[in-house]
Amino acid sequence: MDIIDGKAISEEILEELRHDLAGSNHGRAPSVAFVRVGEDPASISYVNKKQKVAASLGIESQLHVLPVEISQEDLIKQIDLLNQDDTIDGILVQAPLPQEIDSNTIFNRVNPEKDVDGFNVVNAGRLCQEDKEGFLPCTPAGIVELLKRSNVETAGKHVVVLGRSLIVGKPAGLLMMRQHPFGNATVTICHSRTKELAKVVSLADIIIAAIGKPRFVTEDMVKPGAIIVDVGINRIEDPSRKSGYRLVGDVDFDRVAPKTSLITPVPGGVGPMTVALLMKNTIKAYRKNIV
Ligand code: GUN
């Protein structure tokens, strides 16, 4: 069993992006605007991390924190202001949004050319069409990079994705099946209504676990030698920690890992890749915007 070091691979990508940016001078730095609604601790931590990494690449970022009671109308007004600002290349509205707000309406309001998250219907459609002009959602794109840089062959393999979200499950399935050197897989997507889920998962050569349930994937579900990408970032109580919690994935790592040939840890697996691919998308948006 080998562990895929997502942190190290993400550093490699960031280094490539630094090098790429050093060679270009368009009169101003790339810029990205983050919109965070409310004070969800996980969202605060993710957006902080994204801002820090942006700064380390010389990407300018701004943060717009809006109250949890904000109306959908007012949130749309804020997005329109960012859409109209030519000096902003990328816009990211951190999910999850309050229940009263329709997430799709918000994601669809972001100008598709600034949609560095790839959640807008235009970019979701471009992904379906395998159109390179689009922005790929960062976590699924990060998963592809992890597998690619770990020399995992995906063509003809059976990939089972657990979860059908807009943010991970659905686009991950589409990326794995696309006609591409790092796609061409046979894909099964499992969700809460899947019958005999354990049996289906046990057929997988590659498992992408993105259901947000701590340690959901157990050793009986995993074929010996399978490859696992664990997307889950679940906080569980841990009184021995100063914070009172620790992070675990969607996979019961300690028991499952010995059965696999390759597995990503949590933390230090997919998480840093999401941030690195966001930076890549931001630079792509900048290059498109600056011409
Ligand atoms: N919430 C969880 N993952 C993501 C992500 O990749 N982008 C945004 N905007 N919100 C998220």
Residue-wise pLDDT tens digits, 54-72: 999 999 999 999 999 999 9
* Residue 23 pLDDT class (50, 70, 90 cuts): confident
| pLDDT of residue 4 exceeding 80 | yes
Q: Same domain, yes or no, for 110 and 144? A: no
Q: Same domain, yes or no, for 92 and 191? A: no
* Residue 199 pLDDT class (50, 70, 90 cuts): very high
pLDDT in tens, 120-130: 999 999 999 99
Q: Same domain, yes or no, for 145 and 229? A: yes
- For residue 92, what is the domain's CATH number? 3.40.50.10860
* Residue 12 pLDDT class (50, 70, 90 cuts): very high
8 Å CB contact between 221 and 191: no
Give the Å distance between the CA of 199 and the centre of ligand 1: 30
8 Å CB contact between 177 and 185: yes
Q: Same domain, yes or no, for 148 and 267? A: yes
Closest residue to atom 8 of ligand 1, CA basis: 94
Residue 216 forms part of a structural domain: yes
Give the Å distance between the CA of 136 and the centre of ligand 1: 12
Q: What is the pLDDT of residue 24?
A: 77
Q: Is 117 a catalytic residue?
A: yes
Q: Same domain, yes or no, for 152 and 254? A: yes
Structure-token pair, residue 86? 């030519």
3-state secondary structure 122-151: HHHHHHHHCCCCCCCCHHHHHHHHHHHHCC
| Distance (Å) of CA 218 to CA 19, 40, 200, 212, 283 | 41, 29, 13, 14, 39
Residue 284 forms part of a structural domain: no
Residue 78 forms part of a structural domain: yes
* Residue 20 pLDDT class (50, 70, 90 cuts): very high
Q: In whole angstroms, give the CA distance from residue 254 to residue 51.
A: 32
Give the Å distance between the CA of 167 and the centre of ligand 1: 7
Q: Same domain, yes or no, for 154 and 261? A: yes
Residue 201 forms part of a structural domain: yes
**Candidate list 89, 115, 117, 250, residue with the active-site label:** 117
Q: Same domain, yes or no, for 247 and 160? A: yes
Q: What's the CA angle centered on 120, arms 132 and 68, to 5 degrees?
A: 145
Q: Same domain, yes or no, for 254 and 172? A: yes
| pLDDT of residue 226 exceeding 90 | yes
| pLDDT of residue 215 exceeding 80 | yes
Residue 288 forms part of a structural domain: no
Q: Same domain, yes or no, for 194 and 84? A: no
Give the Å distance between the CA of 204 and the centre of ligand 1: 26
Q: What is the pLDDT of residue 73?
A: 98
Q: Ligand 1: does its nearest atom lie under 6 Å from the Cβ of 92?
A: yes
Atom of ligand 1 nearest to the CA of 138: 6
Q: What is the pLDDT of residue 235?
A: 95
- For residue 244, what is the domain's CATH number? 3.40.50.720
pLDDT in tens, 71-98: 999 999 999 999 999 999 999 999 999 9
Q: Ligand 1: does its nearest atom lie under 6 Å from the Cβ of 139?
A: yes
Q: Same domain, yes or no, for 146 and 266? A: yes
Give the Å distance between the CA of 225 and the centre of ligand 1: 30
What integer best gives the mean pLDDT of the chain?
97
Closest residue to atom 2 of ligand 1, CA basis: 95
Q: Same domain, yes or no, for 146 and 228? A: yes
**Candidate list 5, 78, 94, 230, residue with the active-site label:** 94
Residue 11 forms part of a structural domain: no
pLDDT in tens, 261-289: 999 999 999 999 999 999 999 999 999 99
* Residue 291 pLDDT class (50, 70, 90 cuts): confident
pLDDT in tens, 128-178: 999 999 999 999 999 999 999 999 999 999 999 999 999 999 999 999 999
Residue 245 forms part of a structural domain: yes
Residue 13 forms part of a structural domain: no
Q: Which of 10, 167, 279, 282 is the pocket-test mutation for ligand 1 (most atoms within 8 Å of CB)? A: 167
Give the structural domain span for 92. 28-114
Q: Ligand 1: does its nearest atom lie under 6 Å from the Cβ of 274?
A: yes
- Dihedrals phi, psi of 28, to nearest 5 degrees: -150, 160
Number of domains in the chain: 2
Q: What's the CA angle centered on 257, arms 184 and 165, to 5 degrees?
A: 50
Is this prediction's pTM over 0.95?
A: yes
Q: Ligand 1: does its nearest atom lie under 6 Å from the Cβ of 123?
A: no
Q: In whole angstroms, give the CA distance from residue 36 to residue 63.
A: 7
Q: Same domain, yes or no, for 264 and 209? A: yes
